[in-house]
Amino acid sequence: MQIRMVRALWFGFVMLLISSASYGQLRISVGFGPPALPVYEQPLCPGDGYIWVPGYWAWGDDMDDYYWVPGTWVLPPEAEVLWTPPYWAWTDGAFVFYDGYWGPQVGFYGGIDYGFGYFGDGFVGGRWDRGHFFYNRSVTNINVTEIHNVYNTTVVNTSNRTNRISYNGGNGGINARPTPQQEAYAHERHIPPAATQIQHAQAARANPEFRASSNHGKPPVAATARPAQFQGHEAVPAREAGAPYNPPANRGGNPRSATNGPSPSSYTHARELPPLERPSAPNTGNAKVDQKYLKQQQKMQQQQEKERQKLQNQQEKEHQQFAKQSVDEARRQQMEQRHQQQTQQLQQRQSQQQQRMQQRMAPAPATRPEGRPR
């Protein structure tokens, strides 16, 4: 299996991809495709103002597997913005992931039929009217006794949902290309996923049951009423898998194990880094030294958390500044490449710090009475 970071593409190719991409963030590419989209019901909207964000398959490089991020209702970061879902596309010999974003219009999302108003082109589940969001009852699950800003427009979905294809292009993928209008939307003001969406995806990533190799395309929780709430009656299981799924028997192993020295980062932003591991109990054979090393471990972890938070705040600030400006996609791509480099350097530095700490805490070799090693 080929898994690689998309780092540098020639300018014309970048412009073609980004114009059809969601937020213009090319993160990782994978040598085999994601599972089909599972079949599930939409949970009831929890309250006025929430907008539906459909579920999707994400990739975890550390686990060498796809995992399901359940669909959920989300409060948008501001009024008059809509969600463009992420999607996978077959590009340059691999499946490439394009992140989602908020914006004034719904852009291209690969022609993927996510359902509930996202039928492959635009969004028909609701609309903004003078700063207030109105819901289309024909495609969204709304309690009309509590939410009165509704309308009813019948939608004829002409897409083929028999196998619930989850990617664009390639063998068996959706054959869709961005329209000129969607190309223009790519140059409009975009807002990255809200903090609750990021937490939602991170919680899904941490749950082994959401991994495709475990659930075979039928996740135990396919949708939730609120982000990261995967238990209770508001957590909706998948009725069935979109199609039978089994990961390739020989995926080639994790490429990190084949590298010499620290492996390259698989993450573009500090907010995507996996949580730091909790300090393990030292075992040098000396109780006082063990206590000393444990305190040093805890201090190092606190410092690393601060470094991550600082870089995350800096990167998010740059995103917000770019969102307020009319910058071309070439500059935006340069920013993403810079963020990727920053994140890679941080991850590599912190990994080296942890390795040095582990070496210091290794038990002292036992010696024979004459002082020779055993």
- Encode the chain (374 residues) as per-residue pLDDT tens digits: 333 333 333 223 333 333 333 344 445 668 888 999 999 999 999 999 999 999 999 999 888 899 999 999 999 999 999 999 999 998 877 889 999 999 999 999 999 999 999 999 999 999 999 999 999 999 999 999 999 999 999 887 665 555 689 999 988 899 999 999 998 888 888 999 999 999 999 999 999 999 999 999 999 999 999 999 999 888 999 999 888 787 776 554 333 333 333 333 456 788 877 777 666 666 667 778 778 888 888 888 889 889 999 998 998 888 888 777 766 666 776 787 788 778 878 887 887 787 777 766 665 544 444 433 33
Q: Which residues have a Cβ under 8 Å from the Cβ of 266 and sit 6 or more positions away?
A: 3, 5, 27, 28, 61, 62
**One domain for residues 33 and 177:** yes
pLDDT at 224: 97
What are the C-alpha distances in Å from 129 to residues 75, 80, 81, 82, 134?
16, 8, 11, 12, 7
Q: Are 83 and 92 in contact (CB under 8 A)?
A: no
pLDDT at 284: 67
**One domain for residues 210 and 173:** yes
**One domain for residues 78 and 157:** yes
End residue of a domain, out of 243, 259, 294 = 243
Q: Tokens 């040095």 belong to which residue?
A: 356
Work out how many domains the chain is built from and give that number: 2
Coil/strand/helix, residue 99:
coil
Is residue 75 domain-resident?
Answer: yes
Q: Which residues have a Cβ under 8 Å from the Cβ of 358 and sit 6 or more positions away?
A: none
How is residue 253 written in tokens? 């192993």
Is residue 372 domain-resident?
Answer: no
**One domain for residues 189 and 78:** yes
**One domain for residues 202 and 328:** no
Q: Are 34 and 201 in contact (CB under 8 A)?
A: no
**One domain for residues 181 and 136:** yes
pLDDT at 371: 39
**One domain for residues 209 and 334:** no
**One domain for residues 219 and 312:** no
Report the run of H or E that residue 340 belongs to, with start and end: helix 329-360
Q: How far is 221 from 231, CA to CA, in rounded Å? A: 8
pLDDT at 171: 82
How is residue 157 written in tokens? 């979905």
End residue of a domain, out of 208, 243, 278 = 243
* Domain with 235 in it: 4-243
Is residue 368 domain-resident?
Answer: no
How is residue 217 written in tokens? 């395309």
**One domain for residues 239 and 272:** no
Q: How far is 217 from 88, CA to CA, in rounded Å? A: 16
Q: How far is 265 from 294, CA to CA, in rounded Å? A: 27
